């Protein structure tokens, strides 16, 4: 057992915190942020478990998480565009904040 | 060394969990986002600690930088009343804190996570420990030195192909949802930002080129280079509103789909020679891999920059006038 074995556990805690934020917090921006926390927590779990006894990290989970990071930011951008649309008074323009 | 590693990892993970807690519980979403950005930077450090430098690069640029910038930019565009109130304009009153529900959901998340953890361990226990991390033959067949790049481009090329499609669809969705006014951008001009962008964008371009060139041998590659390009693109967008028009420029549109077209070509080409899709010979792997990574880097960089703009820029007045005149 090394201290690196703690990382998947931290991933579980971060995932649970993100899930809680998604369900409990009312602000939509906080909800989107929470989904990103869940994604990072799941990734920590996945990569944290992927070390073999020699200490090398399996490249397949690494590639999957790399894909996941890019997909997460795309999904976040779409979600935020939806939020911006929802909050906007004039549907044809992006208003500056007052 | 072991004691120092324990101290470092325990403090590091305690900080990560505290920042995650803080970004969820912050009363003000702005505070929450700032904590989330700090969380992302420490997550990048966690990837480095776990022996995944490719992830550390991508997380620092995308997870912390770009996601944080997107969140802050959307928050900045909201009216201050909406920003303070926690609900949409026509929604119900902000919900009071619900500690019991929060505790229940948190416990549920922990249980699910720990179930995944223990089941993964039991699967790992059944595995032959001498088998190595991933099928070494498959990795060798790909002809690419870097293991992560070999997985992305060859062993699991479908993932990369579909990921490029996801990026493209996300951009189309954001373009459908919003129009960005060119003459009245949601942020003011800032001389400090302008000179910072002038200094940083060339450095980021250089860094992206290095990551791209290094990608087939060591840490780096198309996605990391694209993430760094996008960081430069966001700075450029903030400093110079002309960047908002990226989406309407023909050269940029070619770049936006370069990665997707490249991956589709790489998937389709072997089928003409009677091989399964994406099954490319190892001899040409380094040239083909570099071209694919180049296309991916350009596409990821341009797409993420365009996503940050938050919508399709309206066409310039001149063009609108010309179109009106051309109409019968």
Tell me the pLDDT tens digit for each residue of B98-139: 788 899 999 999 999 999 999 888 877 666 655 555 666 777
Contact A94, B181 (CB under 8 A): yes
pLDDT for the residue numbered B305: 92
Nearest Cα to Cα of residue B101 among A40, A45, A83, A26: A26
Nearest Cα to Cα of residue B271 among B261, B262, B280: B280
Nearest Cα to Cα of residue B290 among B215, B211, B209, B206: B215
Closest chain B C-alpha to A90 CA, distance in angstroms: 11
Q: Say whether B109 and A19 touch across the interface (CB within 8 A).
A: yes
Chain B (283-312) residues lying within 8 Å, Cβ to Cβ, of chain A: 300, 303-304, 307-308, 310-311
Q: How much is the average pLDDT of B247-263?
A: 89
Contact B222, B300 (CB under 8 A): yes
Task: Give the confidence band of A95 by pLDDT, cuts at 50, 70, 90.
Answer: very low
Kind of pairing, strands B312-313 and B179-180? parallel
Contact B301, B229 (CB under 8 A): yes
DSSP-assigned beta bridge partners for residue B312: B179
Q: Which residues of A touch B109 (CB under 8 A)?
A: 12, 15-20
- List alpha helices for chain B, DSSP H: 2-25, 29-49, 53-58, 67-77, 80-84, 99-126, 136-142, 147-150, 157-177, 191-214, 222-239, 250-272, 285-309, 317-326
Q: Does A49 touch chain B (CB under 8 A)?
A: yes
pLDDT for the residue numbered B138: 72
Closest chain B C-alpha to A14 CA, distance in angstroms: 6
Q: How much is the average pLDDT of A50-69?
A: 84
Q: How much is the average pLDDT of B32-55?
A: 94
Task: Give the confidence band of B147 by pLDDT, cuts at 50, 70, 90.
Answer: confident
Q: Say whether A30 and B24 touch across the interface (CB within 8 A).
A: yes
Closest B-chain CA to A12: B113
Taking the C-alpha atoms of residue B31 and residue B156, their distance in angstroms, rounded to an integer, is: 39
DSSP-assigned beta bridge partners for residue A57: A51
Q: Say what the pTM is.
A: 0.87
Contacts of B93 (CB under 8 A, 6+ apart): B87
């Amino acid at each position: 057992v090394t201290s690196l074995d703690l990382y998947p556990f931290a991933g579980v805690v971060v995932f649970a915190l993100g899930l809680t934020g998604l369900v409990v917090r009312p602000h939509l921006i906080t909800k989107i942020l929470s989904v990103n926390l869940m994604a990072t927590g799941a990734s920590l779990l996945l990569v944290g478990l992927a070390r073999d006894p020699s200490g090398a990290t399996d490249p397949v989970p690494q590639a999957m998480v790399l894909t996941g990071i890019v997909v997460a930011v795309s999904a976040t951008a779409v979600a935020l565009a939806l939020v911006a649309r929802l909050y906007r008074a004039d549907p044809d323009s992006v208003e500056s904040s007052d | 060394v072991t004691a120092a590693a324990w101290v470092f990892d325990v403090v590091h993970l305690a900080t990560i969990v505290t920042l995650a807690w803080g970004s969820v519980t912050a009363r003000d979403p702005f505070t929450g986002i700032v904590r989330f950005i700090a969380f992302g930077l420490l997550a990048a450090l966690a990837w480095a600690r776990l022996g995944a430098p490719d992830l550390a690069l991508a997380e620092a640029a995308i997870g912390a930088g770009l996601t944080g910038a997107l969140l802050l930019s959307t928050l900045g565009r909201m009216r201050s009343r909406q920003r303070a109130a926690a609900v949409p304009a026509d929604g119900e009153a902000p919900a009071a804190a619900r500690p019991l529900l929060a505790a229940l959901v948190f416990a549920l998340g922990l249980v699910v996570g720990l179930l995944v953890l223990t089941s993964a361990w039991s699967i790992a226990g059944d595995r032959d420990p001498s088998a190595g991390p991933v099928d070494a033959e498959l990795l060798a067949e790909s002809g690419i030195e870097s293991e992560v790049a070999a997985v992305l481009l060859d062993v699991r090329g479908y993932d990369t192909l579909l990921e490029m499609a996801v990026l493209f669809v996300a951009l189309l969705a954001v373009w459908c949802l919003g129009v960005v006014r060119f003459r009245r951008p949601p942020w003011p001009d800032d001389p400090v930002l302008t000179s910072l962008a002038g200094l940083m964008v060339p450095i980021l371009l250089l860094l992206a080129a290095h990551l791209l060139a290094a990608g087939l041998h060591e840490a780096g590659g198309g996605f990391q280079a694209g993430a760094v390009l996008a960081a430069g693109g966001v700075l450029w967008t903030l400093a110079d509103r002309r960047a908002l028009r990226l989406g309407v420029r023909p050269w940029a549109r070619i770049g936006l789909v370069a990665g997707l077209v490249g991956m589709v070509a790489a998937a389709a080409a072997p089928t003409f020679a009677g091989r399964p899709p994406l099954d490319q010979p190892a001899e040409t792997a380094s040239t083909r891999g570099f071209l694919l990574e180049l296309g991916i880097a350009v596409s990821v960089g341009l797409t993420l920059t365009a996503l940050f703009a938050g919508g399709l820029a309206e066409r310039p007045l001149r063009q609108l006038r010309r179109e009106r005149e051309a109409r019968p």
